[in-house]
Amino acid sequence: MGFTPEGKVKARIRRILEINKVYHFMPATGGYGRSGVPDIIGCYRGYFFAIECKAGNKRPTALQEKELQRVRDSGGQVFVINEENIKDVEIWLNMMTVPEKRMGSDA
């Protein structure tokens, strides 16, 4: 059984996170959790992040946007990732690896 286009994006992101030994998980929803929660939640070097995966030019729903904004309001990093911008996650991870380049760092 093959992946959906969005499933392929999720698999690629998870592989990047695993290679970089980043703590992450995919919250279970589907009637048991809160709707709109991002696809991937994690923490890297003390920074909380949330990733919403999309395929093509699809955008987050209003409910998903609300949840992403809640993460932003709490100081977390938010990504909306599709096939075209997967590298953004790798760039951010690399920035977090170099202390003087960390977002919000005065160094």
- On the question of pLDDT at 1 being above 80, the answer is no
Angstrom distance (rounded) from CA 95 to CA 107: 13
Q: What is the CATH number of domain 34-102?
A: 3.40.1350.10
Angstrom distance (rounded) from CA 78 to CA 48: 9
36-61 pLDDT per residue, tens: 899 999 999 999 999 999 999 999 99
pTM of the model: 0.86
**Long-range own/partner contacts, residues 43-48 (CB < 8 A, 24 or more apart):** 44/20, 44/93, 44/96, 45/96, 45/97, 45/102, 47/76, 47/77, 47/96, 47/102, 47/103, 48/74, 48/75, 48/76, 48/77
Q: Burial of 17 by CB count in 10 Å (0-12 exposed, 13-18 middle, 19+ buried)?
A: buried
18-37 pLDDT per residue, tens: 999 999 999 987 677 778 89
